[in-house]
Amino acid sequence: MTTILVMTTGQTDVQIVDQHEKWEIDKDYVGALHDQLRDHPDAWVLVDAPAARGRPPKQAFPEQTPWEICTPKFDAVLAYFGTTLPDRVILLGTERQTRGDPRFAGKVLEKRARSRGIQDIRHCAYLGLTDRDLEDRDCPLDAIIRRDVVRRIEDTIRDGVADATRIVVATVGGMPEVKSLVKELVRLHAPEQVDPDEIEVDDGARTGSGQPDKAVSRRRIDPIEPIRLRKQALSLIEKGNLLGALGAVAHLDKQTHPWTQTIHWLAQFASSLPFDPPLPASSGLEVLGHPRMAVRAALRVELALRAGDIPRAVHGTVAFFEAALWDHLLDRFERTGMRHRRWEVLRLKDGAPAPSGCKLLRNDNPDEKDRRNCPFERLDDGTYIFDEDGAGRFARDYVRSDPPKKLADAIEKVRSLRNDVAHNEPTPRLMNDARSRMQQAGLWSNTTPAAFLSQPLVQAVLKDLGDTNPGNLLANLLKQVRRHLVAAAAGDAA
């Protein structure tokens, strides 16, 4: 069992005690104090931090030595651990030679830690003696925190928490940008199954309670994070990665952040799972449960192409054809729930025209030239089975519509590609060939990324099934998703 404390230091971590009161050093004198502590180690002693806080005297430092020095935040953090103190302390601070930098804070806290029996203490001076600014605004990549600073912090945290079984993060001092970075890096590098505990220190004197500073756990979501995640999730969705969007927000509670329900519905659509809870009629997302299978299939192809998932798009393109075929079939037939050999048995709906020439479909005489005259076979009880190999004849002779017939002809040119995806390793060479063949067949556009819903062949099939504006199916869906994620009530943001 290895318990690790990761702590950032700042200007108020080291304070002076005078007349049984602690007082903070004016920021203009912080650097000078730390120089004194560094250069005159015998001129000060560490004492327990008093609860009372006083006002600093007119002079910068007490005249009488040895000075009494306290570390109220660090004492509160150690008290948080109770009787079992951390096995390792990682201190992150600055050593810059500027007027306000607490450059000796890490060493003071180390001395305090050693007095409590902690021996494994590691330091990271993310800003060193020759550093000036945290950022470099002339370089976009370094405009918030310089990359070399990030690297110093990350190297220290990665190496320091590798064997942890418990991690406590106390970003109680220092620059806000560094605090946020440290929290995220600890979460990133924490061993699997270790959930870092983030704590803050409440100033007892500030609350008027007369109590010492107290460290408290802050196991909560930063209000900024859900706002940032909305943008991230929306970007992933617009790029076709619905499951990735769910992964980004899965840790958020749906009751506290109800806008995440939209992302759960999108992920359920992507996985062809039931909507839980059901989609409300007023959600604007009804297309996800569209009664036409071909509409849902077309959306999945478009999203797969946006995501660059060629195998899924190949499979979905052929599935779109089969979905459109069954949409037409189920306009005229109903399922019986029975099977005949390997085919599903269908019953003709009242008023639907009966297929003609059906008895010749499965004639046992192999020399019968007309055995493929009709894609149906009529069984003795008046039900039918349908052979999908006859989809073109079904569209031409029974549905009497050009769009499904043209789609069937186009799919015939690329149908074998689905077998490459389903039964072979979809190598880059195969998928590049698949892209070319899909484009040549008029099923995908020649753009980057390729598009599906913009293709006249696809739009004609969807219009034939009753959708009047198929080219905007995804655009309209994304508009509603944006409404849910961006225009949600302000109270949902936290």
Give 80-106 as a DSSP string. HTTTS--SEEEEEEE---STT--TTHH
Residue-level pLDDT at 209: 58
Degrees, nearest 5: CA angle 320-310-422? 70
Q: Determine the residue type at 387.
A: D
Question: Is the pLDDT score of 493 beyond 50?
Answer: no
Cβ atoms of 482 and 226 within 8 Å: the answer is no
- SS3 call for 168: strand
Reported as a single tens digit per residue, the pLDDT across 171-186 is 999 999 999 999 999 9
Confidence of residue 490 (pLDDT cuts 50, 70, 90): very low
Q: Which ranges constitute the DSSP H helices of 88-175?
A: 105-115, 147-161
The encoded tokens of residue 19 equal: 């007349």
Within 10 Å of residue 118's Cβ, how many Cβ atoms?
17
Residue-level pLDDT at 279: 94
Residue-level pLDDT at 247: 95
Q: Determine the residue type at 272.
A: S
- The arithmetic mean of pLDDT across residues 211-234, rounded, is 84
- The arithmetic mean of pLDDT across residues 413-417, rounded, is 90
- DSSP single-letter state for residue 397: I
Q: Indicate the average pLDDT of the chain.
A: 89
Residue-level pLDDT at 392: 85
Task: Report the alpha-carbon distance of residue 295 to residue 298 in Å, rounded.
Answer: 5
Residue-level pLDDT at 281: 87
The encoded tokens of residue 137 equal: 């605004």
Sheet-wide strand order for 21-23 = 21-23, 15-18, 67-70, 44-46
Residue-level pLDDT at 494: 36
Cβ atoms of 414 and 318 within 8 Å: the answer is yes
Look at residues 435, 413, 158, 461 and name the one whose alpha carbon lies nearest to residue 298: 461
Counting every residue, how long is the chain?
494
The encoded tokens of residue 242 equal: 């619905």
For residues 232-270, one letter each, b for 16 or more C-beta atoms within 10 angstroms of the residue's C-beta and e for the rest, the string is ebbebbeebbbebbbebbeebeeeebebbbbbbbbbbbb
| Cα distances (angstroms) measured from residue 71 to each of 9, 10, 136 | 11, 11, 32
Question: Is the pLDDT score of 489 beyond 50?
Answer: no
Q: Determine the residue type at 413.
A: K
**R_g (Cα) of the chain, nearest Å:** 34
Question: Is the pLDDT score of 203 beyond 90?
Answer: no
Question: For residue 280, what are the contacts with CB-CB under 8 A and spacing of at least 6?
Answer: none
- SS3 call for 469: coil
